Amino acid sequence: MQRTLLLVDDEENIRRSLVRVLRRDGYHILQADGGQEGLAILQEHPEVGVIISDQRMPQMTGIEFLSHVREACPDTVRIVLSGYTDLNTVTDAINEGAVYKFLTKPWEDDLLRANVEEAFRYYELGWENERLTRELKSANEELAAINQDLEQRVEEKTRQALLNTHFLKISQEVLEYLPAGVLGIDNEGTIVLANRQAHALLKHDKQELMGQTVAAVLPQALTELFQLAVEKEQANARRVQLESTMVDMQCCCMGQSSQAKGVIIVLTALT
């Protein structure tokens, strides 16, 4: 991006001398013969980064002009170049923030060039800081949106987990109080589920069936039914006498509608 410099002085020869000194540094140089023209140029060229203005000009002093510039273009770097060094004027201008530096005429070329270079670096640093601030704000807004979306997702997952837990508890209670006995057995023959009716029909009211092996706690007829289901991977049914109770046994393999592996046996007492 080319650096744009505005020179404001009512003396044309002064402006020409400044152009001769500063053009070697590659600036795009604009010129105005007074404050009013300077303000008009700024409206057409908002890219102006640094302004050098004379102090004593007709109709509008340099400080007055730069005060207007500060309100209209606060990011510009403003320099006064004057042959009159009224200390109070200099102090007030700097304290009010209208002027970045106050340089004197006649000037030393190299010192003037160094001050203008420094002013542009100051201007570009401010512009870069503003750009980074915008990017940071944009990143923070994007992060806030992501966090909000994440919070909503977590809230939805939590709500779904609570519902699933609630449904599971209901399912467990329904299973526990079914009038039929239900056994869940994994493929290795370990009982992983047994409701109240299963304990009652198998006369294991005082012994926990879960965690036991089929061969250790179940009648031979149930053991054979389980082994047949595992080997054939198909449903089977059988009616057997369990002590004084006739029981219909139905056996099926899990995994029809899930990834679970094992066998379910349902025991229904016949009256």
Q: What is the mean pLDDT of residues 148-162?
A: 91
- Count other Cβ atoms within 10 Å, centred on residue 195: 20
**pLDDT of amino acid 37:** 96
What pLDDT sits at residue 258? 62
Residue 206: the pLDDT is 58
Q: Give the CATH architecture of domain 4-132.
A: 3-Layer(aba) Sandwich (3.40)
C-alpha torsion sign, points 129, 131, 134, 138: negative
Among candidates 68, 49, 60, which has minimal Cα distance to 7?
Answer: 49
Give residue-wise pLDDT tens across range 12-65: 999 999 999 999 999 999 999 999 999 999 999 999 999 999 988 998 988 889
Q: What is the pLDDT of residue 27?
A: 95
> What pLDDT score does 231 carry?
80
Q: Which sign does the torsion angle of CA 169, 170, 171, 175 carry?
A: positive
pLDDT in tens, 202-212: 887 656 888 88
Instruction: List pLDDT tens digits, range 204-239.
Output: 765 688 888 888 888 888 888 888 888 877 778 888
Q: Which residue has the higher pLDDT, 257 or 186?
A: 186
Q: Which two tokens stand for residue 254?
A: 């899990």
Give pLDDT, residue 25: 94
Q: Is 228 helix (H, G, I), strand (E, B) or coil?
A: helix
Q: What is the DSSP string of 47-74?
A: T--EEEE-SS-SSS-HHHHHHHHHHH-T
Residue 207, amino acid: Q
pLDDT at site 242: 80
Between CA 54 and CA 83 the distance in angstroms is 8
Distances (CA, A) of 94 to 67, 102, 124, 262: 11, 8, 20, 87
Distance CA 7, CA 19 (A): 8
**Cα(35)–Cα(9) distance, rounded to whole angstroms?**
8
Categorise residue 233: left if φ over 0, alpha if ψ from -120 to 50, beta otherwise: left
Enter the pTM of the model: 0.55
Is the domain defined by 177-269 classed in CATH 3.40.50.1780?
Answer: no
Q: 4-132 and 177-269 share one CATH topology?
A: no
Q: Quickly count: other Cβ atoms within 10 Å of residue 41's Cβ.
A: 16
C-alpha span between 161 and 225 (Å, rounded): 36
Taking the alpha carbons of 184, 190, 192, 198 in that order, is the dihedral positive or negative? positive
* Torsional class of 249: left (φ above 0), alpha (ψ -120 to 50), beta (otherwise): beta
Q: pLDDT at position 61, please? A: 87
| CA quadruple 20, 102, 40, 33: dihedral sign | negative
Domain ranges of the chain: 4-132, 177-269
Summarised one tens digit per residue, pLDDT across range 55-96 is: 889 989 888 899 899 999 999 999 998 887 666 766 766 766
Residue 210 or 260, more confident: 210
Distance CA 229, CA 247 (A): 18
pLDDT score for 118: 95
What is the pLDDT, as a whole number, of residue 126? 84
218/184 Cα distance (integer angstroms): 13
**Length of the chain as a residue count:** 271
Q: Give tens-digit pLDDT for 101-118.
A: 888 889 999 999 999 999
Specify the pLDDT at position 230.
Answer: 80
Residue 271 has pLDDT above 80, yes or no: no
Q: What's CA 92's distance to the chain center, in Å?
A: 47
User: Parallel, antiparallel, or unpaired: how do β-strands 4-8 and 50-53 relate?
Assistant: parallel
